[in-house]
Amino acid sequence: MNKEVSIRQIAYTYLFLSLSPILRQIPSALAGEAGKSGYLSPLWSVLVILPLTGIVIILLREFPGLSFYEIMEQLIGRFLAKLIILSYLIWILLSITAKINAYSLTMQFTLMPHTRSNFFMVILIILVFHALMRGMKTIFRFSEFTLGPILVLFGILFFCALTRLRMDYLLPVSTINLPTTMTASKNVIAVGGNIIIVLFFADKLGITISKQQMRKLWYAAVVFIVLSFVITIFTFGITGADLATNLPFPFYITVKSISFFNIFERFEVLITLICILSDFIAVCVSAIILYRCFMWLFQLTEIGYLFVPLAMIVYYLTYFISSTQFEFDFLYRYFIVNSNMIFQYIIPALIGIIGLLKRKKIAKQY
Amino acid sequence: MIYIFGVLLIYTLIREKDTLFRKKRNMLLFLFLSFLGGFLGVVHMLSPHVSSLVYIVEKYIK
């Protein structure tokens, strides 16, 4: 069976689409909820993200060549599986809307404050359509190709920013603050749960997945946690937690003060570009998952005709869901974070537990 | 923008007519999503400054 995508590509894509929340929402949310000690929250998220990665790997190993829907169909029956896929469909539709909103707000905050948001939305929808026409392989290969240089850029930025870190912005951390850092870690966990995209493409990975390939998912989860931790430390250490709480994109302000030996400056434009690319990939991958949900729910064989109606719904939903930065912050903190916990952790965990209990009774398909 | 979407919907209907008429399910889904999108578009056109869902929920919570 030919593999359309590989675990490596999915791992890279997972990191790529997690970049914009790591740069935007995570530092701001951690500063707001945990204050100066918020940079410890990504470390607490290890306790949840790594077990989720383990559950995903167990499901891939126990049900080789089956997609998330097919796994659920085997475990809980067709009706419940379709009900859960319907709820995932609605969740993904709303999260695409939120991502497009976040993207247009980022563009207005950083580069073009006088441009209307519908301009950015239309451009993004056209680019997403163009990418989807090329197929999912193109999107995953783009992530695979682009992530390396981005991580190198982050390495250079961190090296240049070391002298600007203020330890009084980071220390001391008292034990009184530790419980708040634990509760604030849900903001990191809500982004780290994106690893479940593997399950939606599990039928494209082939029947046999080696241990070496599975290890890539572990590496991706660890890199995500390290990246969240380092970016939060640098944001708090340079900008300060108090200012980071009130900014929609604190890392952008942090990078404004970084220069490469006073020769190269204005790295913030590159950071905005990284966020745009990350949002673009996130919308593309979410759109592909949305299409797959429609295929599973309604047993469709072709889905190209759904692009225009869905684009129309997503476009107008962005106006009705949230229209300002404050509304988006409220949406993110109270809806997106909590719904991500349900759809990225609770449901896959339940499916994983049912899978372990019913393992011997289910005939494996090869 | 709704006019552009309207033209694109008609274009999709003409271009994908074989796929849409092959199964009733395809046409029903296409029409349902188109009407939903059209409804949202018309509401936005008639009241562009209507309060967002988040604004209403935030007000209700507070």
b/e map of A148-183 (b: 16 or more CB within 10 Å)? eebeeebeebeebbeeeeeeebbeebeeebeebbbe
Residue A196 is given by DSSP the state G
Which chain B residues are closer than 8 Å to A90 by Cβ?
none
Please indicate, yes or no, if residue A116 is contained in any of the structural domains. Answer: yes
With residues binned 3-state (H G I as helix, E B as strand, rest as coil), the percentages for chain A, rounded to 5, are 80, 0, 20
Contact call for residues A321 and B54 (beta carbons, < 8 A): yes
- A323 to A180, A329, A341, B47, B52: CA distances (angstroms): 30, 11, 24, 14, 7
Identify the CATH number of the domain in which residue A194 sits.
Answer: 1.20.1740.10
- Name the amino acid, one letter, at A33: E
Its domain, for residue A345, covers 7-353
ipTM: 0.92
| Tokens at A187, concatenated | 């903001």
Contacts of A25 (CB under 8 A, 6+ apart): A102, A187, A191, A332
- A324 to A98, A105, A243, A282, B43: CA distances (angstroms): 12, 8, 20, 21, 19
Q: Do A308 and B8 touch (CB under 8 A)?
A: yes
Say if B26 is an interface residue toward chain A (CB within 8 Å).
Answer: yes
Given this model, what pLDDT does residue A195 score? 94
Nearest CA in chain B to A329: B54
Query: Please, which residues bridge with residue A260 across strands?
Result: A264
Q: How far apart are the first and last CA of chain A?
A: 11
Taking only the tens of pLDDT, chain A with its 366 residues reads 456 788 999 999 999 999 999 999 999 999 988 888 888 999 999 999 999 999 999 999 888 888 999 999 988 999 999 999 999 999 999 999 999 999 998 888 888 888 888 888 899 999 999 998 888 889 999 998 999 999 999 998 888 888 888 888 887 777 778 888 999 999 999 999 999 999 999 888 877 778 888 899 999 999 999 999 999 999 999 888 888 888 888 898 888 887 777 777 778 888 999 999 999 999 999 999 999 999 999 988 888 889 999 999 999 999 888 888 888 888 898 899 999 999 999 999 999 999 888 876 655 554
| Tokens at B20, concatenated | 């849409």
| Tokens at B18, concatenated | 């074989």
Give the B window 34-53 contacts with A, CB below 8 Å: 34, 36-38, 40-41, 43-44, 48, 50, 52-53
DSSP H or E stretch at residue A256: helix A250-256
Say if B27 is an interface residue toward chain A (CB within 8 Å).
Answer: no
What is the radius of gyration, based on Cα positions, of chain B?
16
Indicate if the alpha-carbon torsion angle A153, A162, A37, A43 is positive or negative.
Answer: positive
Q: Which of B54, B56, B57, B59 to mutate to test the interface with A (most CBs of A within 10 A)?
A: B54
Given this model, what pLDDT does residue A366 score? 46
Query: Please, which residues bridge with residue A264 across strands?
Result: A260
Which of B16, B37, B58 is closest, CB to CB, to A312? B37
Residue A262 is given by DSSP the state T
pLDDT level of residue B33 (50, 70, 90 thresholds): very high
Given this model, what pLDDT does residue A255 score? 87
In chain A, the number of structural domains is 1
Verify cis geometry, omega within 30 degrees of 0, for the bond prior to A172. Answer: yes
Indicate if the alpha-carbon torsion angle A351, A352, A353, A354 is positive or negative.
Answer: positive
Contact call for residues A237 and A38 (beta carbons, < 8 A): no
Contact call for residues A185 and A44 (beta carbons, < 8 A): yes
CA dist A56 and A111 (Å) reads: 39
CA dist A155 and A163 (Å) reads: 14
- In chain B, where the domains are located: 2-61
Contact call for residues A3 and A65 (beta carbons, < 8 A): no
Which of B29, B41, B54 is closest, CB to CB, to A312? B41
Please indicate, yes or no, if residue A232 is contained in any of the structural domains. Answer: yes
Of A37, A42, A53, A135, nearest to A349 by C-alpha is A53
Contact call for residues A221 and A22 (beta carbons, < 8 A): no
Given this model, what pLDDT does residue A49 score? 94
Contact call for residues A17 and A287 (beta carbons, < 8 A): no
Say if B33 is an interface residue toward chain A (CB within 8 Å).
Answer: yes
pLDDT for B45 beyond 60 = yes
Given this model, what pLDDT does residue A1 score? 42
